[in-house]
């Protein structure tokens, strides 16, 4: 039996289910293939802002308190998240309350009022969320790094948006974005856990009459900007934050599993190369990790660390040396095996809850058009060889492809450019 079952309604909306017979709970989630990448310069931040507004009241449940009271009355949890290529909304509850959870979730997405006074009030909340984000270098360094990689286009913009676009948003701004992208063809309902009876009929009743429509897609990714390999965001601080990496592969790429192992060996866990060398051996950072992050048509393999401002040059050259080393020397058999086991173990742990299981399936379905059985990924990881790891590392890691983002009390990008050669 496969882990996921997929049904498509007449209007194009997909229903993805992941039954977990022994579970006492159910996670009801709606994910859309629409996020901040689908914005324009004038609407940057509206995908995230919309996420907030869906919780502010519907015709049936006019206030945010009424929505939260109904969720609290069944002991449920609800929340939402916005990415660059997807947005998700969910309610997690005891299985017996599935229909209540679905009703509230769909009501929010279909019937939210987007009241102008509520919009203006929420602008202050968003601005404060922005201030927190920009004042937290460990979070904001990712935005600086992606702006360096992708430049002045949606993948290079912050999900949270810009203060001027948030302040200027009106009800029409929201309606224009939602009417364009919130269509059944971009929407997947995911239910994981103790599913109960009559689920397909219930989803059809709630969403089967949602009007179908073609949306097109986001603008294709433009070539990366040729504006240097380093971006410095000047901020007075006692610690610098850096992201150093290279452009990599998109989500669906033949070498995606080998790339995952490269990232794991470099920076996954407390015995990884970067942790051992940068923190344990040299004492250059409190936190350091390596990861690969891919979109549907782009990606990056990078390391991130918070480092002593007086030893930042050592940190940059040490991380760069570890990147070059895995490309030049490859990995021994025991380290390859450890990397595979780490990747598989962390993946399996992420699927242990109904919420984690359906979230995995939905991300795959929304971004890649299919929800594979988890065993397919485990088999893909198992098939990676040491030759694959070195070949991928050599393909990606070259000095001229290195990109470095820095947040700290610096204003001279040239000094860092020299460290990358």
* Structure tokens given for 358: 């359906």
Catalytic position from the list 39, 42, 51, 164: 51
Quick check: 138 and 241 in contact, CB under 8 A? yes
Q: Which of 247, 216, 234, 166 has the alpha carbon at shortest distance from 33? A: 216
335: annotated active-site residue:
no
- Kind and range of the H or E run holding 303: strand 299-308
Unique residue bearing structure tokens 């795959």: 364
Strands 187-193, 14-19: pairing kind = parallel
Question: How far is it, in rounded angstroms, from Cα 273 to Cα 345?
Answer: 18
Question: How far is it, in rounded angstroms, from Cα 108 to Cα 177?
Answer: 16
Q: Where are the beta strands (DSSP E) in 5-82?
A: 5-8, 14-19, 25-32, 77-82
Q: What three-state secondary structure class fits 165?
A: helix
Sign of CA dihedral 155, 156, 159, 163: negative
Catalytic residues: 51
């Amino acid at each position: 039996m496969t882990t996921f079952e997929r049904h498509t309604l007449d209007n194009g909306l997909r229903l993805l289910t992941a039954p977990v017979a022994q579970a006492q709970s159910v996670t009801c989630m709606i994910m859309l293939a629409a996020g901040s990448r689908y914005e324009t310069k004038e609407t940057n931040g509206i995908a995230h802002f919309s996420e907030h507004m869906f919780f502010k009241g519907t015709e049936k449940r006019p206030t945010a308190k009424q929505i939260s009271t109904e969720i609290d009355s069944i002991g449920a949890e609800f929340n939402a998240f916005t990415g660059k290529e997807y947005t998700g909304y969910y309610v997690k509850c005891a299985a017996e309350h599935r229909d209540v959870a679905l009703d509230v979730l769909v009501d929010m997405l279909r019937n939210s009022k987007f009241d102008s006074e509520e919009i203006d009030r929420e602008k202050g909340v968003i601005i404060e969320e922005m201030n927190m984000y920009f004042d937290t270098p460990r979070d904001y360094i990712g935005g600086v790094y992606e702006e360096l990689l992708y430049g002045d286009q949606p993948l290079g913009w912050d999900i949270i948006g810009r203060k001027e676009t948030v302040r200027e948003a009106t009800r029409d701004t929201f309606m224009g974005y939602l009417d364009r992208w919130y269509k059944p063809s971009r929407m997947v309902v995911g239910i994981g856990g103790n599913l109960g009876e009559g689920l397909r009929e219930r989803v059809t009743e709630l969403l089967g009459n949602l009007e179908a429509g073609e949306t097109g897609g986001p603008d294709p990714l433009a070539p990366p900007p040729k504006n240097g390999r380093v971006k410095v965001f000047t901020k007075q601080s006692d610690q610098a934050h850096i992201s150093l990496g290279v452009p990599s592969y998109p989500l669906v790429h033949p070498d995606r599993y080998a790339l995952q192992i490269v990232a794991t060996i470099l920076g996954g866990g407390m015995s990884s190369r970067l942790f051992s060398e940068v923190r344990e051996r040299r004492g250059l950072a409190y936190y350091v990790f390596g990861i690969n992050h891919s979109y549907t048509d782009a990606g990056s393999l990078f390391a991130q660390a918070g480092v002593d401002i007086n030893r930042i040059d050592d940190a940059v050259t040490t991380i760069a040396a570890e990147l070059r080393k895995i490309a030049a020397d490859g990995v021994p058999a025991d380290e390859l095996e450890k990397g595979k086991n780490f990747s598989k173990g962390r993946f399996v742990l992420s699927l242990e809850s109904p919420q984690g299981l359906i979230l995995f399936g939905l991300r795959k379905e929304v971004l890649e058009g299919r929800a594979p059985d988890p065993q397919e990924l485990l088999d893909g990881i198992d098939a990676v060889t040491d030759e694959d790891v070195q070949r991928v590392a050599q393909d990606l890691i070259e000095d001229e492809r290195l990109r470095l983002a820095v947040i700290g009390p610096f204003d001279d990008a040239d000094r860092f450019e020299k460290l990358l050669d």
